[in-house]
């Protein structure tokens, strides 16, 4: 009788242990270097030749990085045309869990949610369900990444307003995200001419633009447990023209760049070059002219002459955003547009410092995004806030090491770095 009791107790204990082990053995343990694309027709590749859309193109980027990163990523695509947040939630258990990956890109948009037809209720549904998907993935042991909403040719002004509003929310969520809109937007919510296959889908060129918005080393950074960036307060570095002797700090993007946005805060009282923007065609600059205004000089031809005075030795923010598909560069001082220039750039690097800087200049909060930004996003940046979608570089530039240990640290979820060829001042 006593033997039978202990036998039953042992069996019960083993059952509980096995049950716990099975539950804790989450699917991602079978392949922690696997990324699953989980969305609708655009991530599936609709509109591209042989369905080789932006997700497939990004998979190729990952393969091409193996020689430098040493990491071999596996990708799978379980996207289905027409899916929205409701359908993806319904497919989660059956289609996603058996993939046994580690990372999942929820690639959904407000279009399939019905934003054009029903407006605010579908906006609310999308927001609610995306948060459910994010929390569900995390609770099951996965790392979620989300794409923001993009364009459609049937969107009206109200639809576009919803898209921009949702994307601003996504920029600020505590989850890695990808700014697809800035790759293909004509700045009215439609596909840029020459970059769409039909009203709802990009063509080969459109998919290519979207693929460039994903930070190439994002998954390397996530695998190394690099956290989401948070805004650092009180940081800055100083350059003195006499002491720096033409040296600089350089940033080189990890892969081909088409759309991009770069922003930095500065303080100066004299004329001189603030940024050098290297392009395959040569070198462009952003400078303060003799009248104290910003001037963007293109690496190709032409310039933008600003109107805002920035030579008062107070903090100002300069932002340049480039829509490759639309073929336009925009220069901002804070949230104020200084002007535009029609061109297409392929940026290879950005430098601060150099021989032509103002006599004394301070910098802080250097940002580089692999996507263009609309005026709503620029206005948010100008509030000294941090947007995170497609962010490849966030360097607080804290020379005094008050908030960070390394004055050249990159807090963005990428493995990229900036390189110092100048003495950093306090």
Same domain? For 207 and 258 the reply is no
- Confidence at 421, pLDDT banded by 50, 70, 90: confident
Q: Tell me what the mean pLDDT of segment 242-265 comes to.
A: 91
CATH number of the CATH domain containing 188 = 3.40.50.1110
Encode pLDDT of 119-173 as tens digits.
999 999 999 999 999 999 999 999 999 999 999 999 999 999 999 999 999 999 9
The closest alpha carbon to 107, from 92, 88, 120, belongs to 88
Same domain? For 158 and 281 the reply is no
Same domain? For 214 and 263 the reply is no
Among candidate residues 223, 252, 269, the one where a domain is terminated: 223
Q: Tell me what the mean pLDDT of segment 331-356 comes to.
A: 96
Tell me the residue length of the chain: 426
User: Given this model, what pLDDT does residue 23 score?
Assistant: 38
The closest alpha carbon to 267, from 242, 247, 245, 237, belongs to 237
Same domain? For 250 and 211 the reply is no
- The domain in which residue 182 lies consists of 24-223
- Confidence at 246, pLDDT banded by 50, 70, 90: confident
For residue 231, tell me if it sits in a domain.
Answer: no
Same domain? For 185 and 275 the reply is no
Q: With contact defined as beta carbons under 8 Å apart, do 1 and 70 qualify?
A: no
Q: Tell me what the mean pLDDT of segment 381-410 comes to.
A: 93
- Confidence at 21, pLDDT banded by 50, 70, 90: very low
User: Given this model, what pLDDT does residue 28 score?
Assistant: 44
Same domain? For 219 and 248 the reply is no
Q: Does position 296 have pLDDT exceeding 90, yes or no? A: yes
Same domain? For 257 and 213 the reply is no
For residue 14, tell me if it sits in a domain.
Answer: no
Q: What is the 3-state secondary structure (H, E, C) of the chain?
A: CHHHHHHHHHHHHHHHHHHHHHHHCCHHHHCCCEEEEEECHHHHCCCCHHHCCHHHHHHHHHHHCHHHHCCCCEEEECCCCCCCHHHHHHHHHHHHHHHCCCEEEEECCHHHHCHHHHCHHHHHHHHHHHHHHHHHHHHCCCEEEEECCCCCCCCCHHHHHHHHHHHHHHHHCCCCEECCHHHHECCCCCECCCCEEECCEECHHHHHHHHCCCCCCHHHHHHCCCCCCCCCCCCCEEEEHHHHCCCEEEECCCCCCCCEEEEEEEEECCCEEEEEEEECCEEEEEEECCCCEEEEECCCCCEEEEEEECCCCCCEEEEEEEECCCCEEEEEECCEEEEEEECCCCEEEEEEECCCCCCEEEEEEEEEECCCCCHHHHHHHHCCCCCCCCEEEEECCCCCCCCCCCCCCCCCCCCCCEEECCCCEC
Q: Does position 382 have pLDDT exceeding 60, yes or no? A: yes
Q: Does position 302 have pLDDT exceeding 60, yes or no? A: yes
What pTM did the predictor assign? 0.91
User: Given this model, what pLDDT does residue 167 score?
Assistant: 98
Q: With contact defined as beta carbons under 8 Å apart, do 363 and 397 qualify?
A: yes
For residue 6, tell me if it sits in a domain.
Answer: no
Q: Does position 63 have pLDDT exceeding 90, yes or no? A: yes
CATH number of the CATH domain containing 381 = 2.60.120.200
User: Given this model, what pLDDT does residue 242 score?
Assistant: 76
For residue 259, tell me if it sits in a domain.
Answer: yes
Distance CA 254, CA 294 (A): 28
Q: What per-residue string of b and e applies to 110-141 under the rule 16 or more CB within 10 Å gives b?
A: bbbbebbeeeeebbebbbebbeebbebbeebe
Same domain? For 29 and 130 the reply is yes
Same domain? For 243 and 206 the reply is no
For residue 4, tell me if it sits in a domain.
Answer: no
The closest alpha carbon to 54, from 109, 112, 118, 124, belongs to 109
For residue 329, tell me if it sits in a domain.
Answer: yes
Same domain? For 321 and 181 the reply is no
User: Given this model, what pLDDT does residue 22 score?
Assistant: 35
Q: How many domains does the chain have?
A: 2
Q: With contact defined as beta carbons under 8 Å apart, do 281 and 300 qualify?
A: yes
Same domain? For 349 and 322 the reply is yes
Among candidate residues 159, 189, 223, the one where a domain is terminated: 223
- Partners of residue 331 on adjacent β-strands: 320, 339
In this structure, are strands 248-251 and 260-268 parallel, antiparallel, or unpaired?
unpaired
Among candidate residues 169, 196, 223, the one where a domain is terminated: 223
For residue 131, tell me if it sits in a domain.
Answer: yes
For residue 37, tell me if it sits in a domain.
Answer: yes
**Which of 19-23, 29-33, 270-274, 289-293 shows the lowest mean pLDDT across its residues?**
19-23
- Confidence at 328, pLDDT banded by 50, 70, 90: very high
Same domain? For 210 and 278 the reply is no
Encode pLDDT of 193-217 as tens digits.
999 999 999 999 999 999 999 999 9
- Confidence at 27, pLDDT banded by 50, 70, 90: low
Q: With contact defined as beta carbons under 8 Å apart, do 39 and 147 qualify?
A: yes
């Amino acid at each position: 009788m006593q033997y039978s009791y202990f036998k039953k107790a042992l069996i019960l204990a083993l059952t509980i242990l096995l049950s716990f082990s099975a539950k804790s053995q989450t699917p991602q343990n079978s392949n922690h270097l696997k990324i699953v694309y989980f969305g609708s027709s655009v991530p599936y590749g609709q509109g591209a030749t042989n369905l080789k859309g932006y997700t497939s193109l990004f998979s190729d980027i990952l393969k091409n990085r193996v020689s430098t990163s040493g990491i071999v990523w596996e990708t799978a695509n379980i996207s289905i045309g027409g899916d929205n947040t409701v359908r993806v939630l319904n497919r989660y258990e059956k289609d996603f869990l058996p993939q046994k990956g580690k990372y999942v890109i929820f690639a959904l948009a407000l279009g399939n949610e019905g934003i054009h037809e029903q407006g605010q209720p579908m906006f609310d549904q999308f927001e609610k369900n995306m948060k459910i998907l994010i929390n569900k993935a995390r609770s099951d042991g996965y790392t979620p990444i989300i794409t923001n909403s993009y364009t459609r040719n049937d969107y009206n002004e109200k639809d576009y307003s919803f898209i921009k509003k949702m994307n601003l929310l996504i920029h600020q969520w505590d989850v890695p995200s990808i700014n697809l809109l800035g790759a293909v937007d004509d700045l009215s919510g439609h596909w840029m001419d020459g970059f769409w296959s039909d009203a709802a889908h990009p063509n080969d060129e459109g998919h290519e633009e979207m693929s460039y918005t994903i930070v190439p080393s994002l998954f390397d950074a996530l695998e190394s447990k690099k956290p989401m960036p948070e805004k650092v307060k009180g940081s800055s570095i100083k350059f003195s023209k006499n002491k720096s002797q033409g040296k600089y700090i350089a940033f080189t993007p990890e892969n081909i760049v088409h759309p991009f946005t770069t922003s930095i805060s500065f303080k100066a009282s004299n004329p001189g070059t603030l940024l050098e923007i290297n392009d395959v065609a040569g070198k462009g600059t952003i400078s303060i002219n003799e009248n104290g205004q910003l001037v963007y000089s293109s690496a190709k031809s032409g310039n933008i002459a600003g109107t805002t005075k920035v030579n008062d030795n107070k903090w100002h923010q300069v932002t340049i955003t480039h829509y490759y598909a639309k073929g336009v560069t925009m220069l901002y001082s804070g949230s104020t547009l200084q002007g535009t220039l029609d061109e297409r750039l392929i940026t290879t690097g950005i430098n601060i410092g150099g021989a032509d800087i103002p006599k004394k200049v301070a910098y802080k909060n250097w940002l580089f995004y692999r996507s263009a930004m609309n005026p709503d996003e620029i206005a948010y940046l100008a509030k000294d806030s941090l947007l995170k979608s497609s962010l490849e570089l966030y360097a607080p530039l804290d020379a005094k090491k008050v908030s960070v240990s390394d004055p050249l640290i990159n807090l963005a979820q990428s493995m990229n770095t900036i390189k110092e060829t100048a003495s950093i001042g306090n």
